Amino acid sequence: MAVPDRRVSKTRARKRRTHYTAKLAMPTKGKDGSWKLPHFVNRFTGNYK
């Protein structure tokens, strides 16, 4: 079994984890001109896109 020779420091581990960020959904304009989030049901028209 592979075992690391040295312990990974807290700083080094946190630097590696900085790239694991959540991407927020960007709002877009629908056909009716209202702003909406992608993959959600439009409250006014009831359309899903």
For residue 48, list its beta bridge partners: 41
Q: Token pair of 39, please? A: 């993959």
Please state the rounded mean pLDDT for residues 9-18: 87
Residue 30: Cβ within 10 Å count: 14
pLDDT of residue 4: 84
Q: At 9, is the pLDDT very low, low, confident or very high (cuts 50, 70, 90)?
A: very high
Please state the rounded mean pLDDT for residues 8-24: 85
pLDDT of residue 49: 65
Residue 36: Cβ within 10 Å count: 20
